[in-house]
Amino acid sequence: MDFIKSKNIFLLTRDTLKLLDKRLMKHGSRVAYILYKMLETKGGYEKFEMAEYAMLATLHDIGAYRTDNLSMPLAFETRNTLPHSIYGYLFLKYLSPFEDRAKILLNHHLSFMELAEKGETQYLTVTTYLSLAECVDVYREALGDRFRVSSFRPFEGKRFSKESLDILDRTIAQQKIFEKIESEEYEQELSHLVDTLMFTNEEKKRYMETIMYCLDFRSHMKVQDTAVCISICSQLAELMGLDQKTQEMLYYGALIHDIGMLSIPKEVIESNRRLTDEEMEMMREHIPIIRDILESRLDPVVTEIAARHHERCNGKGYPEGLDGNQMNTPQKILQLADAVTGMINDRPHRAGMPANTVREILMKESGDRNFDPEVLRVFFDNFDQILDVAKQQGKDSLNPNSLVEARYAKLEQALKKMKKK
């Protein structure tokens, strides 16, 4: 999988989540930087290890996208800290390659004493550093010039480990971290660090899927849509005999084609009435947004597949109004697959359309030459099978999400009990 570098997977994940809330990702980046510098001061970590921890730290509050009101960050960082810790942990454990390291997120708001009581030893150093780094950033942001790192000392051995406080003092003395955060120079240093990320192809695939699952933070419906759309694309690509590499490119193009939706309000995405002109405009914005995020990060072939999914062969699509001979087969497959997905999946204002209705609509539209005639022919020739498989795969795609939701409810109850004791 040579069409995306490991570093760009990190940047793509971060930029995708920024669409939901920039401030939270900025906080994540600053915390990642403080953690990185503390690990460097401690010593004994390879660069790529620190880069992976920095990536995890950037995402440390990812659960809050689901569980909290992001306009009140102090509430979930200082008072009601359990929900986002649990959800973030489950999301990364089951829907990303972080797996067991996701536990660091689960514990990032536990005090040093609570960690000791729990008998937590795995990733203890990184967890205590992350916990302190997060507090440093939250209080620095809230207090500005009045912030003093010495105000954490009275909590030594209770809220924070002595070791983490000592390392933080040494880091501040040696590295000028706050000055670099102030001048935003830290971003450059983080960027050099993540240059050393080295993911296997399997990890890259799973991280790309994590990005798709982020759609769930805005709209559950969009995750299912994407899964159905991928299934239709893969089946058409196979039936049309596209080579393996093109099939793979199409898979990734389809996987991320709608991530720009994260910047659109849920009420608009899941509206149960006809959208106003203004809201339609807003929806259309997801295309330039996708292009912005993907360009320079991904192979242009994949970017173009994703960014052209609302073009139409008769030139009546958007945003560029390209015509059929300006586009290639995988782009045209995604166009049809995306349109069919919109018909067969449930919408807030109607149930999914029956197969016959889909067929009739497409027959009618074929007169307008909306879609590529060859793609349409293969689709009609295999109509029932493609729809059956796609619907099943759409349902299966909800399993990982439901798993996270179900475990969230259980774990929250268990941890609340533990906290009360």
- Least separation, in Å, of the C-beta of 258 and Fe ion? 5
Q: Closest separation between CB of residue 28 and Fe ion, Å?
A: 7
Residues in the chain: 421
Q: Least CB distance from residue 348 to Fe ion, whole Å?
A: 16
Report the DSSP beta bridge partners of residue 322.
none
The one segment of 9-17, 133-141, 210-218, 413-421 that binds Fe ion by CB under 5 A: 133-141
Residue among 138, 152, 127, 137 at smallest CA distance from 78: 138
Enumerate residues 6+ apart whose C-beta is below 8 A from 401: 95, 213, 216, 220, 223
Quote the least distance from Cβ 77 to Fe ion, whole Å. Answer: 5
Q: Which is nearer to Fe ion, 34 or 358 (CB)?
A: 34
Q: Which two tokens stand for residue 213?
A: 């699952």
Minimum CB separation of residue 46 from Fe ion in Å reads 25
Integer CA distances (angstroms), 149 to 10, 27, 135, in order: 30, 17, 10
Token look-up 């390209």 returns: 322
First to last CA, the chain: 49
Stretch of 129-137, 205-213, 300-308, 355-363 lying at the interface with Fe ion (CB under 5 A):
129-137
134 binds Fe ion (CB under 5 A): yes
21 binds Fe ion (CB under 5 A): no
Residue 304 within binding range of Fe ion, rule CB under 5 A: no
Q: What is the footprint of Fe ion within residues 325-344 (CB under 5 A)?
A: none
CB of 241 to Fe ion, least distance (A): 27
Tell me if 271 sits within 8 A of 348, measured CB to CB: yes
Interface of this chain with Fe ion, residues 237 to 296, rule: CB under 5 A: 258
CA distance 135 to 130: 9
Residue 61 or 372 with smaller CB distance to Fe ion: 61
Question: Segment 25-84, which members bind Fe ion (CB under 5 A)?
Answer: 61
Nearer to Fe ion, 7 or 108 (CB): 108
**Between the CA atoms of 10, 11, 14 and 16, what dihedral angle is there, to the nearest 10 degrees?**
-110
Q: Identify the burial level of 271 via C-beta atoms within 10 angstroms of its C-beta, where 0-12 means exposed, 13-18 middle and 19 or more buried.
A: middle
Residue 356 CB, nearest distance to Fe ion (Å)? 25
Q: Give the binding-site size for Fe ion (rule: CB under 5 A).
A: 3
Give the distance, in angstroms, between the CA of residue 420 and the centroid of all CA atoms in the same chain. 33
Smallest CA-to-CA distance from 304 within 331, 332, 334, 337 is with: 331
Contact residues for Fe ion, defined by CB under 5 A: 61, 134, 258
